[in-house]
Structure 1
Amino acid sequence: MKRHDQCSICSKETDDGIHLLKLYICHACEKEMIDTPADNPRYDYFVKQMKKAHRSMIPS
């Protein structure tokens, strides 16, 4: 049975992604992040999601 992890970007549970440090990113989000130019408004969304996910790993 495959393990399903929750994507740190879109919150969907999948089994086809990557683990980046302690973050899990699904294949669809990984591809979209790579293909999104920095001047696209969607790029800012990805940056915010990565910051939010990174902050959640830091103990209070």
Structure 2
Amino acid sequence: MHNPSCNICSKETKDGIYLLRVYICHSCEKEIIDTPADDPKYKYFVQQMAKAHRTMIPS
């Protein structure tokens, strides 16, 4: 069986969660939670989530 790919890091893993139909691996989930909102990397996470969510919306 095929493991889902994380929408943040693109790694295939079975250890993750779906958030608004967007798959996030456990490693990225932890990093997002531990990253302060004023850190530039947090903006990257927000952009990746928005990008992934847009691809889920039918045209």
TM-score, normalising length from structure 2? 0.92
Give the corresponding residue for 1:51.
50
Bigger strand share: 1
Give the corresponding residue for 2:3.
4
Letter in 2 for 1:47: V
% same residue:
71
RMSD over aligned Cα atoms: 1.2
Deviating above 2 A after TM superposition, structure 1's stretches of 4 or more consecutive aligned residues are none
Structure 1, gaps ≥5 residues long = none
Alignment coverage as a number of residue pairs: 59
Letter in 1 for 2:44: Y
Give the corresponding residue for 1:40.
39
Structure 2, gaps ≥5 residues long = none
TM-score, normalising length from structure 1? 0.91
Give the corresponding residue for 1:24.
23
